[in-house]
Structure 1
Amino acid sequence: MQGGVQDRQNRQDSQDRNDGDAGADPRALGLCPERLGRIDGWMDRLVAEGKLAGLSVTVSRRGGTAYARAAGRADLARGTPFTEDTLTRIYSMTKPLTSVMVMMLYEEGRFQLDDPVARFLPEFSEMRVLTGGNRNKFDSEPARRPITIRDLLTHTSGLTYGFMEATLVDELYRRNGVDFHQPEATLAEVVGRVARLPLLSQPGEQWNYSVATDVLGHLVAVVTGRDFAEVLRERVIRPLGMVDTDFFVPPEKLPRLAANYTLFRDRSLKLYDDSVDTPYARPPAIASGGGGLVSTAADYLRFCRFILGGGALDGVRLLGRKTVALMLANQLPGDLASMGTPRFAESSYTGIGFGLGFSVMLDPVRAQILGSPGEVAWGGVASTAFWIDPAEDMAVVLLTQLVPSSALPIRRELRVLTYAALVD
């Protein structure tokens, strides 16, 4: 009972810290309340039309919460409402937190960004690159240079994801058990399987979304000599006051976990992962730095404010401001579209670059969406998303549970609604 009381108190403390001047008129934060109100109708329509079971939207500017609302159901079968403290699987929105932990070690002098990852993970010493072949026999050539830590942070390492089902390397990942969500393996074992397979491209030459951030999680474990999940909790999650963010949901919080859905061909919602009978109800065998966390809107907003704060939040500094500036800067020679032919991304390709753990808006005109140069963002496969706009001192967090993220254009729609509310 005491644990439940403490859990509620921790959530309240976190909410109080996130509220800032939320009670003030949004006009004081430079936002039009009537225009923000359009988000209400948009959310309600998505739920009423059966496109989403439920969702929440949080808009922050100048340190205050200008808008925070939830609509619909977290669990359709049980009738559980989707609320502002509903827990959701954020999947690839885990990547920025892992990237922050990597950059904390970088600041400590543990490595340089251009160091070969093989310096710490020798299994990556003799990488080869696919040149042709088929599922029974593939051809390859030696990598022309080592994979660097920067390559992993920017998804230019030549690694891939098996779920894309677009290339022979993707298939090799599936056939060889490259799955960081499997119940019977260790992080080191799955990273070892990755290292034994060919790369999709030469390191540094193409942008390919990949398991690179999971490899970075293993790098953190090797460099620190500790379990990756514990390091991330101790050094990033807890200091930022993200009281509901973890790789699993303990029993006392399980009633707040949303069910996860998918849209079938008839456009009806079908259960993808239950809110009770779910792998997230117990600690995973592997803590996936690329996609394993569960979080809430209030918690993830704290992370966004930490980035807007140049590496500090509520008097707690985890990174120097110059390090954060480097993370938010485009690391590519151009946009994603100029780096080969991306097979999948939680963003569009044209006009969008990539920093150290985030996408980076280069040109809203070329991206054909409202935004600011220098805005960073990413999303998760269950249609969650966030974006951080330093130029506007604004952050937006969208949480829902619909797989895949490409099923509906809700991220682009919400971008228009939020940016259209800016009045100064």
Structure 2
Amino acid sequence: MPGASVCVSDDSGILFARGFGHCDAEHTHAVNPDTIFGIASMSKSITCLAVALLENEGRLSLDDPVSKYLPSFRLPGVPREAVLVRHLCEHRTGLPPLPTLSWSMAWNTPLEPWREEVVKRIRDSSESRVETVDDIIAYIAAGRGYRLLGAPGEYMSYSNDGYALLSSVIDVAAGEPLESYVERRIFQPLGMSRTTFDIDRAKALGNITSLFTWDGDVLRSTDTWDVAPPYRGCGWVKSTATDMCRYYLTLSRNGLFHGRQLWPQSCVERVVGRGFAELPQGVYCFGLNKRLFEDVAICEHSGGLTGVSSQGGFIKDGAFAVTVLTNLSGISCAPISNAAFNLWLGLSVDASHSWLHPQADGVENPAFYAGTYVSLEDLDEQLGVTADDAGQLWGHGEKGTERLLFCGGSVFTPEGKGKLTPGMVLRFLLRDGECWAVAIGSRIYQKKPQ
């Protein structure tokens, strides 16, 4: 990892804040706690907090149909009023993973020579440059090339497109752009002076990292940040570990900041409150995943873009927050944030946070789950599932093949001896006696028709 910044805070202030490694390929600029990184999808809770604040101001309702703010929005075959603002926040519109974010980044991000081949493949497969939210709305309304998962509210499947729509809903409800509303209501009151949606402003502030990604065995460096114009509230905030820790700590204290009620407690309740269950396996709330661990509720989110891997969160009602920001694509920061939670809770630094319990007996009729499961999000990413003569289930992905261990119900996890993601949760979904999809983490992959 070229560089990382970590901040840990509680009611007494900053407990730990340190930079590791470097910002640039020349190793001339060291990372420190005030270095600006991308935070990617950690942005989503900021977007949802803006929704909660607007609701508190009487400018929208979570039960408003999305079409009230975006009149041309519709899902094929679904009543126009059925998709609500809350469905966007919870990833419950019924949309499967779509290719539109990849298209938008491929067409709108300045092209690096070493990325030319993959970008050309994405552009060649695209139907649109996806430069505006209207392009997303048009693609969804056309209904070509994808199948809805179910009725609005029925299934949770992570949708960056939903948060692109939500960004534009906020524009309309607030009567000003999402960016200026968030700056005025969230960033400025918290003193988050090194946090912004605007990459030019971030660069002008200085002490901003370059972006690193592996290209085969070669570590590439760039100062070209991903661009996808409609997806602002989906993942385009740039910030520092100290700024984000201040934000998370205020959420952990139900909106209280330096003795002042900065946001109404009811707004924080909307985002991660009692309306969402507290379970070891976690529940997606509004822009944050809430999970029960050692009798406390941890609320958190990860993020990933080119040159961005991030993780941040807090203990609900616990006045404890942690942020981990890095400048390398495609890695998990959860082990670092989990270590911070462990130490705070008096556990060993490497105590496991997994709720999965593989069972020795295996699963009856493993062939029932066999098939090819597809996500449209990343050049038709696929997971093949097969059963061997010994009754073992195997997963076959782009990174390799691995045995899948049965964990009860219809839940499996990779054995951990191959290259599939360790700790990945696979939950097969049944409908009318058939296995029609698998939820891989937070995304639903649909079974390819035979």
Same fold (TM over 0.5): yes
In structure 1, what is the equivalent of residue 281 of structure 2? 351
Deviations 1:283-319 (A, max 9, x none): 9855711111110111111211221231232355443
Structure-2-length-normalised TM-score: 0.63
Q: Please tell me whether residue 310 in structure 1 is matched to residue 310 in structure 2.
A: no
- The aligned counterpart of 1:394 is 320
Aligned counterparts of 1:384 and 1:322: Cα–Cα separation in 2: 27
Q: Could you report, residue by residue, the CA deviation over 1:56-104 in whole angstroms, capped at 9, with x for unpaired residues? A: 2111122421111111111123521111111101111111111111111
Task: After TM superposition, give the deviation of residue 191 of structure 1 in Å.
Answer: 4.2
Matches within 5 A, 1:142-157: 142=78, 146-157=82-93
Q: TM-score, normalised by structure 1?
A: 0.67
Any stretches of 5+ residues in structure 2 without a counterpart? 110-128, 348-450
Query: Percent identity, aligned pairs only?
Result: 24
Which residue number corresponds to residue 205 of structure 1? 154
Higher helix share: 1
The question of whether the paired residues in 2 share the 8 Å contact of 1:178 and 1:194 is answered with no
Q: Which runs of 5+ in 1 are unaligned?
A: 1-51, 129-140, 162-169, 336-349, 365-370
What is the count of residue pairs matched by the alignment? 319
Which piece of structure 1 moves more, 110-119 or 237-246? 110-119
> What is the alpha-carbon distance in structure 2 between the residues aligned to residue 323 and residue 420 of structure 1?
29
Mapped to 1, the partners of 2:89 and 2:43 lie a distance apart of 13
Deviation at 1:254, TM superposition (A): 5.8
- Partners of 2:106 and 2:270 lie apart in 1 by 28
Retained in 1: the 8 A contact 2:19–2:32? yes
Query: Match for residue 236 of structure 1?
Result: 186
Instruction: Label 1:421 to 1:303 Cα distance change in 2 as closer, same or farther (>3 A).
Output: closer
Deviations 1:132-169 (A, max 9, x none): xxxxxxxxx446971111111111112354xxxxxxxx
**1:84 touches 1:296 (CA, 8 Å); kept in 2?**
yes
- Conserved in 1, the CA contact under 8 Å of 2:290 and 2:297? yes
Confirm or deny: 8 A CA contact 1:88 1:257 kept in the other structure.
yes
Q: Is the 8 A contact 1:158 1:208 kept in 2?
A: yes
| Aligned equivalents of 1:186, 1:318: Cα separation in 2 | 35
Query: Partner of 1:378 in structure 2?
Result: 301
CA 1:334–1:78 in 2, change beyond 3 Å: closer, same or farther? closer
Letter of the 1:219 counterpart: V
The 3 A distance-change label for structure 1 pair 354 and 373 is: farther
Query: What is the CA–CA distance in structure 2 between the aligned matches of 1:314 and 1:181, rounded to whole Å?
Result: 44
1:301 is matched with 245
Shift of 1:187: 4.2
| 8 Å Cα contact 1:54/1:82 also seen in 2 | yes
Residues in 2 aligned to 1:118 and 1:361: alpha-carbon distance in whole angstroms: 32
Cα deviation 1:164-209 (Å, max 9, x = unaligned): xxxxxx24x369x555993687544344335424363221111111
Residues 42 and 303 in structure 2, CA contact (< 8 A), matched pair in contact too:
yes
Q: 1:91 to 1:97 in 2, by over 3 A?
A: same
- CA change 1:260–1:215 in 2 (3 A) is same
Greater strand proportion: 2
Q: How far off is 1:399 after superposition? A: 0.9
Q: Distance in 2 between matches of 1:385 and 1:181?
A: 28
Pairing 1:412–2:338 present: no
Counterpart of 1:361 in 2: which secondary structure?
A: strand
